[in-house]
């Protein structure tokens, strides 16, 4: 179905961007900084992505991304298991359907989905350091993916470590000789501070806060 096509595409994008290259840490970052019990009121709220029509919702204990838009694809992209009857696209394998609109030689459907990016618990840790918030997501068997949040004048910047420059900087700071994926680093708080000050977390996405 069209929704399945979209989420398959979304999964592929997340996978590919996460492989440029994937970087993890052996402990939540920054090290030796106490974890927060939740997001403070200042940063809670709803934000609109400057790159697409998705929304980022930050509550006291979680960070979720909502996709709410219309997806348009060409009729030739449908496969043999899909059949259009009236204003419904049926999946012949599952005997399910979803409402659509036909626009010329294309099919249009409404897409709505929610992706939980972070939820505070024993395995997912939130920290604050030098004015930034760091969300640490546990990834088995024993590593942590880290993203940085910065809020300034209603603009939220979500940053991650996904490019070669960040990787090389971490290798230099830790004198690491790793050459296989995933790259797992053990850094001190001082090294992490240096990484931040040297423009670490280079992959960024901006969101504008919505006044409700």
Nearest to 124 by CA among 43, 185, 183, 62: 62
CA distance 85 to 110: 17
Mean pLDDT of the chain: 85
Q: pLDDT at position 21, please?
A: 47
Note every long-range contact of 38-41, with CB atoms under 8 Å and residues 24 or more positions apart, other chains counting. 38/120, 38/126, 39/63, 39/126, 39/133
Is it the case that residue 206 has pLDDT exceeding 90? yes
DSSP letter assigned to residue 3: H
Nearest to 145 by CA among 7, 39, 13, 19: 19
* pLDDT band, residue 122 (cuts 50/70/90): confident
Q: What percent of the chain has pLDDT over 70?
A: 90
Beta carbons of 75 and 106 less than 8 angstroms apart: yes
Nearest to 137 by CA among 18, 55, 56: 18
Pick 61 or 4 by higher pLDDT.
61
Q: Residue 58 pairs with which residues in a beta bridge?
A: 45, 63
Quote the distance between the C-alpha of residue 134 and its chain's center. 13
Nearest to 48 by CA among 211, 169, 192: 211
Q: pLDDT at position 211, please?
A: 85
pLDDT digits (tens, 9 = 90+) for 5-32: 444 444 433 333 333 347 999 999 999 9
Q: What average pLDDT does range 112-128 have in this prediction?
A: 91
Asked which of 86-90, 115-119, 138-142 is least confident by mean pLDDT, the reply is: 86-90
The structure tokens 């670490």 sit at 200
Q: What is the largest CA-CA distance in the chain?
A: 63
Q: pLDDT at position 120, please?
A: 94
Q: What average pLDDT does range 158-187 have in this prediction?
A: 91
Q: What percent of the chain has pLDDT over 90?
A: 55
Q: pLDDT at position 84, please?
A: 84
Q: pLDDT at position 82, please?
A: 81
Q: Where are the chain's structural domains?
A: 2-209
CA distance 177 to 169: 12
Q: pLDDT at position 24, please?
A: 94
Q: What average pLDDT does range 122-137 have in this prediction?
A: 95
CA distance 118 to 111: 22
Q: pLDDT at position 11, please?
A: 41
pLDDT digits (tens, 9 = 90+) for 62-103: 999 998 777 778 888 888 888 888 888 888 888 888 888 888
């Amino acid at each position: 179905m069209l929704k399945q096509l979209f989420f398959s595409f979304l999964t592929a994008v997340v996978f590919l961007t996460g492989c440029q290259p994937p970087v993890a840490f052996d402990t939540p970052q920054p090290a030796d900084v106490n974890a927060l019990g939740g997001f403070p009121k200042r940063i809670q709220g709803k934000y609109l992505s400057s790159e697409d029509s998705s929304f980022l919702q930050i509550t006291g204990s979680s960070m979720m991304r909502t996709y709410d838009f219309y997806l348009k694809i060409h009729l030739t992209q449908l496969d043999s298991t899909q059949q259009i009857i009236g204003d419904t696209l049926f999946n012949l394998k599952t005997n399910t359907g979803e409402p659509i609109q036909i626009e010329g030689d294309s099919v249009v459907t409404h897409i709505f989905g929610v992706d939980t990016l972070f939820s505070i618990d024993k395995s997912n840790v939130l920290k604050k350091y030098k004015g930034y918030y760091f969300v640490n997501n546990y990834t088995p068997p024993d590593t942590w993916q880290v993203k940085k949040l910065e809020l300034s004048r209603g603009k939220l910047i979500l940053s991650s470590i996904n490019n070669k420059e960040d990787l090389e900087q971490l290798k230099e700071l830790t004198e690491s000789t790793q050459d296989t994926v995933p790259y797992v680093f053990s850094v001190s708080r001082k090294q992490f501070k240096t990484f931040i000050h040297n423009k670490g977390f280079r992959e960024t996405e901006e969101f504008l806060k919505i006044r409700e």
